[in-house]
Structure 1
Amino acid sequence: MRLPDEFYERVQNRVRRRLAERGLDGIIVTAPADVAYLIGFFYAVTERPVYLWFGADGSRFVLMPELDAEYALAQDIQAEIRTYFEYPGTTRPEAHLAAALRDLGVRSERVGITASLSVGARDALGDALPGTTFTRTAVVSELRVVKEPEEITLHRQAAEICDDMLDAGRRLIEEALAGGTPLPTESDLARHVIAYGTDRMYAQYSHVIYTTKLAGGLVYAGPNAARPHGLPSRRRLEVGDTLILSLGAAVASRFVESERTFIIGPPSRQQREFYAVAQRAQEVGTQAMVVGRTCADVNAEALDVIRDAGMGEYIRHRLGHGIGIAQHEPPWVEDGDPTVLVPGMILSSEPGIYVPGHAGYRISDSVLVTAVGPERLTRYPRQLEENVIT
């Protein structure tokens, strides 16, 4: 998958305008997601740095390891390519960057840098560009918050795959129950859904690109489901378990999340009570994602559903976060983020209830903020009756 040239021209023009408005000669971009967003270069991240120079005067080039240049050309990236041989090499990459700026006669007295730049890289740039004032700027991340129409199309495609991954995981359990064979372990189920999503991607698209991963799956069952970021274990699923499938997929590195809680076998009264509150909180949080509201207000309204049900002690995290070319990115749907929602944002809606020693309950959708209200991109059923596996 490759976005059209018009997309890159549009976002690059916006970056130039913002640099000029802030009195910056240019910006040095290093985060793989920012590089992919601005010029369409997707690459394997190693210790070898990639530096994208983007000037307010229209100059732009990307400095990369020589071993990546052929692949960059194949991607038809939207910037001149300059290379260095190895890292650290006899000449550090930062010195190559400074030499390229001098060759082009580019003014670089006030340069923006992104928050992802390491302290070591910042010091190396200072040595290579003496007299340059470096200013941390959110020029690129601010643009990424609102998705372009071409990106939303990719998010929709990823949502279909992610929902199908949930169905593939459910079918694996149903087949074991029907056949009287042992249920899969958490790790078995994780491998199955990740392989399913990855295979779908390679079957559907002629050129697969991503910044971190194509498909991911976290599987928690029984007591392990009470650990929101626990990893799948070797524990075998059992009838009576509460099971969370926390899945993600990306098309051209445009991510979505689709997460559901399942009950294996007839649910108990306790399971019904926890599930009902988690589902209600998710519905309230999703419907609150409307233009003009703040992330903090939306978060509070959703989590208050859990608190009002007397389950506040089981809250472990915020309502959600932004999703885009990275799986987690601004804005943050939590109490400390005053960001006002605008059309084109994509947010996760994923409140959870986590009861130590028992289980966890989380339902998550990727939600597009539109002028007429929130739109769920992920559509897998979320009612309890639809998610009981027998």
Structure 2
Amino acid sequence: MIVPIPPGERTYRAQQAFEFAGSDLAGLVLFDDQLIQYFTGFIFIPTERPIALIITREGERILFVPRLEYEHALETAQVEEVRSYPEFPGEQHPLLFLSEHLQQLGLRRGLIGVDHDGYPPVMGYSGPALSELFAIRRVSAALDRQMALKSEPELSLIRESARWAGHAHRLLQQYTRPGLSESEVEARATREATQAMQAEMGPGFRSHNRWISGAVALYRGQIGPNSALPHAISINAVFKAGDNLVTGASAGVWGYLSELERTMFVGEPTPQQRHYFRHMLELQDLALEHMRPGRACADVDRVVRAYYEREGLLPYWRHHVGHSLGQRIHESPFLDIGEQAVLEPGMVFSIEPGLYVPGLGGFRHSDTVLITSRGAELLTHYPRELEALIIPA
């Protein structure tokens, strides 16, 4: 049975945070909604009203929320205490209330680790920097590293996400036909996959993911020549024979997700399409071969970029090999020549080197991969070979 992250794990994360952020810190103050969810399970939509999490050296978590979120936080947040302020901007600014709370907790005498120097500007928010109120040090990168090392409960949820992503993608491929629009095919595949997932999981199941709700499969406008845009947006294109298609599928499972993408074709691909598809597969295979613990993230990207150069494909390169993921759709570290991190067991990545040929289309598979002590384990399982990805015209 698939269950959410247990409260004990979130408690342990808060206690362990100082091993990553620094033992010299008096406490932590975090504003990022994803970090707050990671440490407390509290899910909210960031608005102009600041929400913050205070973590003490003992691992005690105090959630600081506007009055309108108080009952929501009491009911759902896995914390030791919830404190609230009246409203933003209010007669006294919320961050001044926050500073008073830190004073009461005895934390303002020391150095505070923060993810942002004040609440980030969202929906018209403005306010003082934390560095105007007390001594701070940015610890975002350290906490990102903590998030990158997935626990067994996290991996269980990512594996389940990958299973449902595959189901949604199979429906997407099954329903795609010339003459239909991307919106109607996406809607049908996503609706049916989500209904199946919810039925199997039971009435208490929740996606609990800001990025993905349900089991989703889509094209996001990556159809025909438009698929040469890696981050295209939906254009409600109508499928026709000869189209390059680049897909995306995932599922939100108790706060965690996966990534599955495939390059498909409507009708028999041309020799040119086969040429770039073959190179795309070889690029992904090359990246997978080098995903081993102890190897630098930068080295994986260097090896793949060398292939682009050797084969004369650099004009069609647009982005690095991949990125970590789990709770967020993009997390660090990144498989990029500028990344200093080293691959470690427990890290989860997308592997997605692509080719983007103007006037023709895009060629990209993406798979979710776990770094183990032995190498790389594929968590997404969907056909990669060309013949399995041709849609009858």
Partner of 1:152 in structure 2?
155
Measured after TM superposition, the shift of residue 297 of structure 1 is: 0.8
Matched, 1:67 2:68: yes
The answer (yes or no) to whether the contact 1:278–1:361 under 8 Å persists in 2 is yes
The answer (yes or no) to whether the contact 2:31–2:115 under 8 Å persists in 1 is yes
Partner of 1:8 in structure 2?
10
CA RMSD of aligned residues (A): 2.1
Measured after TM superposition, the shift of residue 334 of structure 1 is: 0.9
Measured after TM superposition, the shift of residue 256 of structure 1 is: 0.8
C-alpha offsets along residues 267-286 of structure 1, whole Å, 9 cap, x if unaligned?
11111111111011111112
AA at the equivalent of 1:88 = P
C-alpha offsets along residues 271-325 of structure 1, whole Å, 9 cap, x if unaligned?
1111111011111112211111111111122233333222221011111011021
The verdict on how the C-alpha distance between 1:58 and 1:342 changes in structure 2, with shifts beyond 3 A counting, is closer
AA at the equivalent of 1:220 = Q
Q: Distance in 2 between matches of 1:192 and 1:93?
A: 45
Q: Distance in 1 between matches of 2:12 and 2:86?
A: 32
The answer (yes or no) to whether the contact 2:14–2:39 under 8 Å persists in 1 is yes
The verdict on how the C-alpha distance between 1:76 and 1:341 changes in structure 2, with shifts beyond 3 A counting, is same
Q: Distance in 2 between matches of 1:143 and 1:340?
A: 13
C-alpha offsets along residues 73-110 of structure 1, whole Å, 9 cap, x if unaligned?
33251331111232222222212212222333344431
AA at the equivalent of 1:188 = E
Partner of 1:179 in structure 2?
none
AA at the equivalent of 1:147 = K
The verdict on how the C-alpha distance between 1:72 and 1:202 changes in structure 2, with shifts beyond 3 A counting, is farther
Q: Distance in 1 between matches of 2:226 and 2:276?
A: 16
AA at the equivalent of 2:213 = L
Partner of 2:115 in structure 1?
114
Give runs of aligned pairs for residues 229-240 of structure 1, distance below 5 A. 229-240=231-242
Partner of 1:214 in structure 2?
213
TM-score (norm 1): 0.91
TM-score (norm 2): 0.90
Moved more, 84-93 or 49-58: 84-93
AA at the equivalent of 1:8 = R
Partner of 1:276 in structure 2?
278
User: In structure 2, the residue corresponding to 1:254 is in which secondary structure?
Assistant: coil
Moved more, 86-95 or 147-156: 86-95
Give runs of aligned pairs for residues 164-179 of structure 1, distance below 5 A. 164-173=167-176, 176=177
C-alpha offsets along residues 181-232 of structure 1, whole Å, 9 cap, x if unaligned?
x532233334344434544454325141123332554241110100000112
AA at the equivalent of 2:33 = P
Matched, 1:241 2:246: no
Measured after TM superposition, the shift of residue 57 of structure 1 is: 4.1
Partner of 2:362 in structure 1?
360
Matched, 1:388 2:390: yes
Partner of 2:96 in structure 1?
95
Partner of 2:128 in structure 1?
123
Moved more, 300-309 or 380-389: 300-309
C-alpha offsets along residues 49-94 of structure 1, whole Å, 9 cap, x if unaligned?
2100112244430101222232333325133111123222222221
Of residues 161, 184, 188, the one that matches 1:188 is 184
Higher strand share: 1
Q: Distance in 2 between matches of 1:266 and 1:97?
A: 62
Partner of 1:263 in structure 2?
265
The verdict on how the C-alpha distance between 1:315 and 1:18 changes in structure 2, with shifts beyond 3 A counting, is closer
C-alpha offsets along residues 19-62 of structure 1, whole Å, 9 cap, x if unaligned?
552x1111111111100111111112222221001122444301
User: In structure 2, the residue corresponding to 1:61 is in which secondary structure?
Assistant: strand
Number of aligned positions between the proteins: 379
Q: Distance in 2 between matches of 1:193 and 1:368?
A: 27
Q: Distance in 1 between matches of 2:90 and 2:258?
A: 39
The answer (yes or no) to whether the contact 1:303–1:351 under 8 Å persists in 2 is no
The answer (yes or no) to whether the contact 1:16–1:55 under 8 Å persists in 2 is no
AA at the equivalent of 2:212 = K
Q: Distance in 2 between matches of 1:163 and 1:249?
A: 9
Q: Percent identity?
A: 31
Give runs of aligned pairs for residues 261-340 of structure 1, distance below 5 A. 261-340=263-342
User: In structure 2, the residue corresponding to 1:27 is in which secondary structure?
Assistant: strand
The verdict on how the C-alpha distance between 1:308 and 1:295 changes in structure 2, with shifts beyond 3 A counting, is same
Question: Which consecutive residues of structure 2, in runs of 5 or more, have no partner in the other structure?
Answer: none
Moved more, 103-112 or 347-356: 103-112
Question: Which consecutive residues of structure 1, in runs of 5 or more, have no partner in the other structure?
Answer: 177-181
Measured after TM superposition, the shift of residue 135 of structure 1 is: 1.1
The answer (yes or no) to whether the contact 2:20–2:146 under 8 Å persists in 1 is no
C-alpha offsets along residues 8-28 of structure 1, whole Å, 9 cap, x if unaligned?
13212211344552x111111
